[in-house]
């Protein structure tokens, strides 16, 4: 059973002050893009996990892998026990690890959908989303795909009306960034700013301008409205990302932003050809490890039959 699952970028990421549980209340606009991992599950005599492709060596292959935890959580919820719950999980990665593209969350969402199908467990989308939210903040969106507003930790989702297709160049960093570290750095920067008398950040709220622009389907309107409250923290941890963002802007990107907690930079292009040109130019300029083009929105985790999405 093979499931294909997309990466995400955040078109808006508004971050409030940390709550008592250490998590930050968010308002975000998720957007699924056509950079996919594929996750295959097969019945096995004991749990096992193997990873091939992009950054494979950086991915744990034991129960600390979110996809493994997803399979276990689904088995529990569906009442699948003992030997019946053992699967071999094979992850074919194209989404870089710790990149701000929700690659680990994507694999977990794919494992949920794949095991639900393999075991004919019959859990509803809603039940899967509940298990997903317990695994990680971005996992429910990886199930849903498309373009959606996320609140809470990002797990409370409402589909967003977005017209047309958006073409992106994604510039991958030399190494990953820890999401927790980026949030911590963001808190430190905000505390320092508050200590020097700056206004505390407002409660996170949805950008109505961005939502209107998305409904228009015009990337030239959307580009200037992309925002990410975690960007200053990502830039302070990786100062050379400024050069990456500047290079994309110089080459006509309509918007240039760090994706999620970074270090991937996402550039909104005029069209597919411009996205391809941007990816080539960014790679050639030596401001990233590699670059790829992608388009969105695309659907979330989906079973593939005969190599095609069902
Ligand atoms: O939920 P997830 O495991 O993906 O989050 C990874 C880390 O990112 C958390 O441990 C937390 O430090 C931080 N985080 C946060 N506020 C959020 C989401 C994540 O502080 N809304």
**pLDDT at position 198:** 81
Active site residue 8: yes
Choice among 8, 37, 107, 229 that is catalytic: 8
Lining ligand 1 with CB less than 6 A are 23-24, 26, 136-138, 153-154, 179-180, 183
User: Per residue, what are the HEC states of the chain?
Assistant: CEEEEEEEEEEEEEECCCCCCCCCCEEEEEEEEEEEEEEEEEECCCCEEEEEECCHHHCCCCCCCHHHHHHHHHHHHHCCCHHHHCEEEEEEECCCCCCCCCHHHHHHHHHHHHHHHHCCCCCCHHHHHHHHHHHCCCHHHHHHECEEEEEECCCEEEECCCCCCEEEEEEECCCCCCHHHHHHHHHHHHHHHHHCCCCCCCCCCCCHHHHHHHHHCCHHHHHHHCEECCHHHHHHHCCCHHHHHHHHHHCCCCEEEECCCCCCEEEEECCHHHHHHHHHHHHHCCCCCEEEEEEECCECCEEEECCEEC
- pTM summary value: 0.96
Query: Residue 308: its pLDDT value, please?
Result: 65
Query: What tokens does 143 get?
Result: 């199930």
**Structure tokens, 103:** 């690659």
In angstroms, rounded to a whole number, what is the distance separating the alpha carbons of residues 211 and 305? Answer: 35
β-strand 265-269 against 166-172: which pairing, if any? antiparallel
For residue 307, the model assigns a pLDDT of 64
Residue-wise pLDDT tens for the chain (310 aa)? 999 999 999 999 999 999 999 999 999 999 999 999 999 999 999 999 999 998 899 999 999 999 999 999 999 999 999 999 999 999 999 999 999 999 999 999 999 999 999 999 999 999 999 999 999 999 999 999 999 999 999 999 999 999 999 999 999 999 999 999 999 999 999 999 989 888 877 789 999 999 999 999 999 999 999 999 999 999 999 999 999 999 999 999 999 999 999 999 999 999 999 999 999 999 999 999 999 999 999 999 999 986 666 5
What's residue 197's pLDDT?
Answer: 86
Q: Which atom of ligand 1 is nearest to the CA of 153?
A: 21
Burial of 18 (0-12, 13-18, 19+ CB in 10 A): middle
Cα distances from 299 to residues 114, 254, 292, in angstroms, run 15, 24, 19
Structure tokens at 45: 């005599």
Q: What pLDDT sits at residue 309?
A: 62
* Protein residue closest via CA to atom 19 of ligand 1: 23
Which atom from ligand 1 is nearest to the alpha carbon of 261?
A: 8
CA of 6 to the centre of ligand 1 (A): 20
The residue whose CA has the least distance to atom 20 of ligand 1 is 23
Measure 153 CA to ligand 1 centroid, in angstroms.
Answer: 7
- Asked if 20 is an active-site residue, the reply is no
Task: Tell me which of 37, 55, 107, 138 is the catalytic residue.
Answer: 138
Cα(295)–Cα(220) distance, rounded to whole angstroms? 15
223 CB neighbour count, 10 Å cutoff: 19
What is d(CA 236, CA 187) in angstroms, rounded to the nearest whole number? Answer: 12
């Amino acid at each position: 059973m093979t499931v294909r699952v997309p990466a995400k970028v955040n078109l808006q990421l508004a971050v409030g002050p940390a709550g008592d549980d250490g998590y930050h209340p968010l308002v975000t606009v998720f957007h699924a893009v056509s950079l996919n991992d594929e996750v295959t599950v097969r019945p096995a005599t004991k749990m096992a996990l193997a990873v091939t492709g992009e950054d494979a060596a950086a991915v744990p292959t034991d129960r600390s892998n979110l996809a493994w935890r997803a399979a276990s959580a689904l088995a529990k919820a569906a009442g699948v026990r003992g030997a019946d719950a053992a699967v071999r999980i094979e992850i074919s990665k194209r989404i870089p690890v710790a990149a701000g593209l929700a690659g680990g969350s994507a694999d977990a969402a794919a494992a949920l959908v794949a095991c639900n199908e393999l075991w004919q467990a019959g859990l509803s989308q809603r039940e899967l989303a509940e298990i997903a939210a317990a695994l990680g903040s971005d996992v429910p969106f990886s199930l849903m795909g498309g373009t959606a507003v996320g609140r809470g930790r990002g797990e409370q989702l409402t589909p967003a009306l977005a017209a047309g297709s958006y073409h992106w160049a994604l510039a991958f960093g030399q190494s990953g960034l820890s999401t927790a570290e980026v949030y911590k750095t963001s808190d430190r920067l905000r505390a320092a700013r508050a200590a020097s008398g700056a206004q505390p950040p407002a409660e996170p709220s949805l950008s109505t301008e961005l939502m209107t622009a998305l409904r228009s389907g015009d990337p030239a309107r959307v580009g200037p409205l992309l925002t990410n409250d975690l960007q200053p923290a990502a830039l302070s941890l990786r100062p050379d990302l400024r050069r990456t963002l500047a290079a994309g802007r110089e080459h006509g990107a309509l918007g240039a932003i760090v994706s999620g907690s970074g270090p991937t930079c996402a550039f909104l292009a005029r069209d597919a050809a411009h996205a391809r040109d941007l990816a080539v130019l960014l790679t050639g300029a030596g401001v990233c490890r590699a670059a790829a083009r992608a388009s969105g929105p695309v659907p979330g985790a989906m079973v593939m039959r005969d190599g095609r999405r069902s």
